[in-house]
Structure 1
Amino acid sequence: MCLSFALFKLLCLRYAGYSLPQKAHENAWKLIRNGLLSHEDGYKRAFRVVEVELTLLFDFFYTKYGIIFHPGWLTTKLMELMGITIGIWAMRSLLKDHHRDNSNCNCLLTTMLNGLSGDIFITGLIITSFIIMELIQYFFLSFSEWAKMILICQKYVQKKSWQETAHIESIIRAICGVWLLKPWEQKLHQYSFLDSYFYKPYGLLKNRIMAAFIDQTRDGQRQSPPIQLSEEVKQAVFHALKLNNGTNLENGHASLRRNNESKKLLWACRLETET
């Protein structure tokens, strides 16, 4: 978890356009080669590290976890929990005395069959929905990769008392053993040009109105069903990385040289994109 978070921070620097000194690249490559890739079954751990790294990156771009888990987040969340508790108490007090005196009211449209006031019922329904959504958010926050990272890197590692308490270790182990969302899921999305060439999207989905709600699919742009990344592919990537002794990837040059295809296909590696 700590290693994935460190690599995630380096990846964020790359996305922001910052460059690292050459020494940093060399140290990172030594860590990968002498650590993750040092054992024969190291590909399993390497892909787990990458998976957690991509999960953190996904949360960084598409969720607010990076902001929520700022210093002092626990105090803020406890205050929110107190607000939810007060909301539950207020709702119970409101619904407890739900029978309204309708003796001076000739309009019964606001009174339901069981005597419950309609406005109180709607208010209670809204408050209940809000409380349920907040509790669901707390649940996902508690088992997110960011919560695991803070528990391990900032709490457990730095506090000696936590390391000597079996109860706390059991709680952290239980939290880290739960994976709720996997943006990658170790699947490969595919596109076959020949299979999708004659594809035309439905007219009801491809128009200006639907463009405001969903991504528009163009003619011939149909994605094939994703497939699970096999162990053989993982091992092949693992061995290819082990054969690379340098710190820089060569954009396919080394693979072509090993397979004696440099003369035929090396020109493609010099273009701007791999496509």
Structure 2
Amino acid sequence: MTIWVAYAASIPMVSYTLGLMQSSPYKNSLFSVWAIILFIFLGNADSFSAYSLPDNDDWKRFYLKQLIQSFWVGWLVVSSGGSDFQYALWVIYSIVILKSGTRVASFKLASRSSMLSKSTKWVAPCRRRGEDKQNPREEPPEYHLRYNDDDRAKLVTVQDIWNCNGSLLSGGNGGRLKDVCLSMALSKMLNRRFAGFQVLAESNLHKTRDFLFGGQLHGDRCVERAFRVIEVELAFVHDYFYTKYFLIYSSHHLFVTLSFAMVPTCGWLVPAFPPDSWNSSVLFSKLIGCITSLRYFRSWEDKLGQYTLLKSFDYKPMNILYYATFSLVNKTKKGRKEDKRVRLSMDVKKTVIETLKKNIGLGQLGNCVISLHANEVEDEDQHGMGSTTTTTNQHVACSLSRYCAYLVAFAPELLPDHSFVSESIFDALVEEARELLKGKKTMQQRKEALRSQDHGDNRLLVVGGRLANNLIEIEHPGDRWKVLCDFWAEMMLYIAPSNDAKAHLETLPRGGDFITHLWALLTHGGILERPTGPAQNV
């Protein structure tokens, strides 16, 4: 919310301040200096560019506003009277004008109506880098975009990087650096889904499945590596759509050079300020100290959202901010109170990946029938499990089940069905819980009330109570938690494929979601949608 306010208010605030300077009855030579500083602040930070995806498509509006602001800043520099710093100001003004173009270009590059489709359509399925510097041509009879032999020779492929014997890529940290290159290549391929290309040419190829299951998910430490590659890949995607990094570092260092050119030029302005105005300011010193002590934060927070219906169905939000801001802040619906987020553990990742490898080995993503049938067979031969395994299964089952509930309550757009369907079902569940559990204050009372309902009642909460009774009848707790662990791991994979790439892309500025990582992982294995076979009675 704070970032959005700063983003939305920056242009109006700068415009208002420039207007005050322009209409002031007296003129000060420092007005031109402060106008330049405001201009730098307005559109020339080298990282943050867009707050949301629609900002990229609205690049023409920002471009017009930027032109108007540049005109008024230039007018203030001229009209502020003679100054000893006129030359420095005009040099800075010229550099800022050039640098402000990076933000416009970043918007344009990531906009659907302009460059996004062109820059993603012809990414080669052999995971190449450097294709943006070549010119593919449309050739008959299919008129597909293709490279000629000379262009292919200039491309740097992932295979070239893997075969490189240079000291940088073959040292102790070489494997991780190669994986960063792989992440960059995969991010370019994933961008095709964000551009709206639902059919990926390589999705049905055997080597695509082999890349995922024989490459990324192969080996003893495959889980840690696979999620690290996906995390870096999504960071590249985030930078492409929401920052200027991609454009800055793909422009032959022109904009980096401009940034360095600002340092000596701005140093020229230091004498313009009174000698005691900043140096003696304790507040300003503390501000600089805070800025320089900031640490780098990953866009992915590596946590799982959690929600428990039995705990929060009677939650009644006050929505003070919603009314105070005249609906600028979204309204929280009743029954939606998020539990404390939990760290995404390696046990959760391993369980999901092992389930993926096992189910694909059987030829499909299951809708939890595979895990239930497997445990039905295994129960005949197993009699309890070790305490360590039981604890792990309990942790995985609880983390994933509450995460799935969180997705339904707070992020239904990330689920395969239309978000309205998920929201409607969830609202009905909240009302059912309010009716069935009215007056029940403790969790124990609520559990017992659901387990004692009439067996002829087919409401979802009552069916859940009957399922709880069935699970309790399993003699050994270890077997009980294994059933739930396998069930929720398979469910997590079943709901991950989706055609709504935009919804996943919009999670990245907010820190991302585990389901987005799984969605990207499955995409690179050619798994773009859920199986379409007949529904089975789970």
What TM-score does the superposition give when structure 2 sets the normalisation length?
0.31
Equivalent-residue separation in structure 2 for 1:22 and 1:80 (angstroms): 41
Query: Contact 1:198 / 1:219 at 8 angstroms: preserved in 2?
Result: yes
Alignment deviations for residues 79-134 of structure 1 (CA, whole Å, 9 cap, x no partner): 2221232112321x224xx48xxxxxxxxxxxxxxxx6xxxx48xx9xx99xx7xx
Q: CA separation of 1:182/1:31 partners in 2, compared to 1, >3 Å: closer, same or farther?
A: same
Query: Contact 1:199 / 1:221 at 8 angstroms: preserved in 2?
Result: yes
Residue 217 of structure 2 corresponds to residue 37 of structure 1: yes
Residue 234 of structure 2 corresponds to residue 54 of structure 1: yes
Query: Contact 1:29 / 1:247 at 8 angstroms: preserved in 2?
Result: no
Alignment deviations for residues 207-229 of structure 1 (CA, whole Å, 9 cap, x no partner): 162532x4432222222111111
**Equivalent position to 2:347, from 205, 216, 232:** 232
Equivalent-residue separation in structure 2 for 1:47 and 1:75 (angstroms): 34
**Structure 1 match to 2:272:** 94
Alignment deviations for residues 151-196 of structure 1 (CA, whole Å, 9 cap, x no partner): xxxxxxxxxxxxxxxxxxxxxxxxxxxx922222221112222222
Structure 1 position 13, deviation (Å): 0.8
Equivalent-residue separation in structure 1 for 2:203 and 2:214 (angstroms): 16
Equivalent-residue separation in structure 1 for 2:417 and 2:319 (angstroms): 35
**Structure 1 match to 2:247:** 67
Residue 176 of structure 2 corresponds to residue 16 of structure 1: no
Which residue identity is paired with 1:37?
L
Which residue identity is paired with 1:220?
G
Instruction: Report the 3-state secondary structure (helix = DSSP H, G, I; strand = E; otherwise coil) of the residue aligned with 2:304.
Output: strand
Q: CA separation of 1:210/1:196 partners in 2, compared to 1, >3 Å: closer, same or farther?
A: farther
**Structure 1 match to 2:208:** 28
Which residue identity is paired with 1:83?
M
**Equivalent position to 2:306, from 185, 190, 194:** 190
Structure 1 position 24, deviation (Å): 6.5
**Structure 2 match to 1:5:** 184
Q: CA separation of 1:82/1:3 partners in 2, compared to 1, >3 Å: closer, same or farther?
A: same
Q: CA separation of 1:249/1:184 partners in 2, compared to 1, >3 Å: closer, same or farther?
A: farther
Q: CA separation of 1:203/1:216 partners in 2, compared to 1, >3 Å: closer, same or farther?
A: closer
**Structure 1 match to 2:509:** none
Which residue identity is paired with 1:69?
Y
**Equivalent position to 1:259, from 372, 391, 404:** 372
Which residue identity is paired with 2:304?
L
Which residue identity is paired with 1:13?
R
**Structure 1 match to 2:318:** 202
Query: Contact 1:25 / 1:247 at 8 angstroms: preserved in 2?
Result: no
Which residue identity is paired with 2:242?
Y
- State the aligned residue count: 193
Q: Which ranges of structure 2 fall in alignment gaps of 5 or more residues? A: 1-179, 375-415, 419-494, 497-538
Structure 1 vs Structure 2: percent identity of aligned residues?
29
Equivalent-residue separation in structure 2 for 1:215 and 1:180 (angstroms): 29
Residue 297 of structure 2 corresponds to residue 181 of structure 1: yes
Query: Contact 1:8 / 1:54 at 8 angstroms: preserved in 2?
Result: yes
Residue 257 of structure 2 corresponds to residue 78 of structure 1: yes
Q: CA separation of 1:25/1:69 partners in 2, compared to 1, >3 Å: closer, same or farther?
A: farther
Structure 1 position 22, deviation (Å): 4.1
Structure 1 position 246, deviation (Å): 6.7
**Structure 2 match to 1:112:** none
**Equivalent position to 1:211, from 327, 333, 340:** 327
Structure 1 position 249, deviation (Å): 5.7
What TM-score does the superposition give when structure 1 sets the normalisation length?
0.58
Q: Compute the RMSD of aligned alpha carbons.
A: 3.7
Q: CA separation of 1:69/1:227 partners in 2, compared to 1, >3 Å: closer, same or farther?
A: same
Instruction: Report the 3-state secondary structure (helix = DSSP H, G, I; strand = E; otherwise coil) of the residue aligned with 1:207.
Output: helix
Equivalent-residue separation in structure 1 for 2:218 and 2:370 (angstroms): 25
Instruction: Report the 3-state secondary structure (helix = DSSP H, G, I; strand = E; otherwise coil) of the residue aligned with 1:40.
Output: coil
